[in-house]
Structure 1
């Protein structure tokens, strides 16, 4: 079993500054020695000090080893792993809930990539089944590039989650090859929960029975399926595209 992360790494000037400003639980801000003369870095250091957050200067090569990106812009923040919130809390707080359900995610890299995309797309919560990767591990935290700090990750039974979603009038949309309409033909605006299958299993028949309807991603016939993180990104942004057309 993968070790859970002790902290979340946030990289880059904007991400670190936003985390400090928004009151995220930052334990330490690490600054590369070669960036000490940069006015924006000095601004971040001053902000961290005003929040009572420890700052530490470290050799540039050591900071680069910690970073996921090639250029963390001379600064990294170490943030406490967020506390788990409940799906019910999310549904009570958000009128038009935008939820992502993940079944049997096999690889930590995929979960991290999905969380990063979910953050960018405005997803309110990611519910993940316990039969796959379902915790914030160091790999998940690193690949998410800060996504784990802003998108709640909720490990729970998908059947329980779908029952609750139906109680709050949030339709569950199964994403499966050659099922239902294409994502371009189906209306996806308003509250919705997308159910994505894992890399190896897809959506089981019992899970399919709990879906309100299905969509598929149009592909060339020679292509059997897409990586789950890629498929998730396409579906989330198709919803956003449709929402923007209604404004």
Structure 2
């Protein structure tokens, strides 16, 4: 169960919100993709404990917060100590992405996002993935933007065509895919120029979050690093822009 200091938790976008014990429990039991739950801290009555058990079983990120915080998040004022956020679009499995590549006779090309928290960046990257021929986008369950309506709008419709998978452990998923023949390249300013890196073949492109980049464990799981040559007075690009530059260099090398 995840418990964080709530003063550091930003206000989520008020979209895809579900409130009340029965509504939340039915969403969990029906198999609907629940991105996150907020539960009144210290509440241990029967219905809430049932929700906690179901959330744990499905590995749904959960945070215990004060009543004041729940009132702040609630749209109806009738949250009954429980509210959550559900996905605007269904998630897919990574295996479906690999199967799509096989059906097209192409080497798999997946984009992995390590903690991208802005739904607009996520949507923009999904749009880039579609246009660059990627077979899917993979995101972690925790500390990352999900398929909210804001992300879907930012994708300009690409979310309807490019599958997004949400996994519990990004590093473990990468290791399993490496056993199936995928190589992983990490976007890193200290890496070799992307023009000197072989970006053909079965590939996973890994990008980090907006502030800290790719986490150490995920970066160490990658096979090599690639950087984007830049000029100017600042030293980094927005993650969605970096994703576009690298993804189209991958497309360019594949089309050579």
- TM bucket (normalised to shorter chain) is 0.5 to 0.7
Q: What is the SS of the residue equivalent to 1:184?
A: helix
Q: Which residue of 1 aligns with 2:171?
A: 159
Correspondent of 2:91 among 75, 81, 84: 84
Residue 221 of structure 1: how far off its partner (Å) = 6.1
Residue 93 of structure 1: how far off its partner (Å) = 4.3
Q: Which residue of 2 aligns with 1:33?
A: none
Q: Which residue of 1 aligns with 2:211?
A: 200
Q: Distance in 1 between matches of 2:118 and 2:241?
A: 13
Q: Distance in 2 between matches of 1:92 and 1:116?
A: 20
CA shift digits 1:79-132 (9 cap, x unpaired): x95432211232244241110000111211111111111111111110012233
Q: Which residue of 2 aligns with 1:240?
A: 251
**TM-score, normalisation: structure 2:** 0.62
1:176 equivalenced with 2:188 (yes/no)? yes
Q: Is the 8 A contact 1:104 1:201 kept in 2?
A: no
Q: What is the SS of the residue equivalent to 1:94?
A: helix
Correspondent of 1:108 among 105, 114, 119: 119
Unaligned runs of 5+ in 1: 7-79
Going from structure 1 to structure 2, the CA distance change for 1:124 and 1:227 (only over 3 Å counts) comes to same
| Bigger mean CA deviation after superposition, 192-201 or 155-164 | 155-164
Q: What is the SS of the residue equivalent to 2:181?
A: coil
Which structure is richer in relative contact order (CA contacts within 8 A, separation 6 or more)?
1
Q: Which residue of 1 aligns with 2:197?
A: 186
Correspondent of 2:224 among 188, 213, 219: 213
Going from structure 1 to structure 2, the CA distance change for 1:198 and 1:117 (only over 3 Å counts) comes to same
Going from structure 1 to structure 2, the CA distance change for 1:5 and 1:120 (only over 3 Å counts) comes to farther
| Bigger mean CA deviation after superposition, 129-138 or 193-202 | 129-138
Q: Distance in 2 between matches of 1:4 and 1:86?
A: 24
**TM-score, normalisation: structure 1:** 0.64
Residue 238 of structure 1: how far off its partner (Å) = 0.3
Q: Is the 8 A contact 1:3 1:138 kept in 2?
A: no
Correspondent of 1:120 among 109, 119, 131: 131
Residue 222 of structure 1: how far off its partner (Å) = 2.8
Q: Is the 8 A contact 2:186 2:219 kept in 1?
A: yes
Q: Is the 8 A contact 2:92 2:166 kept in 1?
A: no
Q: What is the SS of the residue equivalent to 2:195?
A: coil
Q: What is the SS of the residue equivalent to 1:233?
A: helix
**What is the root-mean-square deviation of aligned Cα atoms in Å?**
2.0
Q: Is the 8 A contact 2:88 2:148 kept in 1?
A: no
Q: Distance in 1 between matches of 2:89 and 2:180?
A: 25
Residue 190 of structure 1: how far off its partner (Å) = 1.5
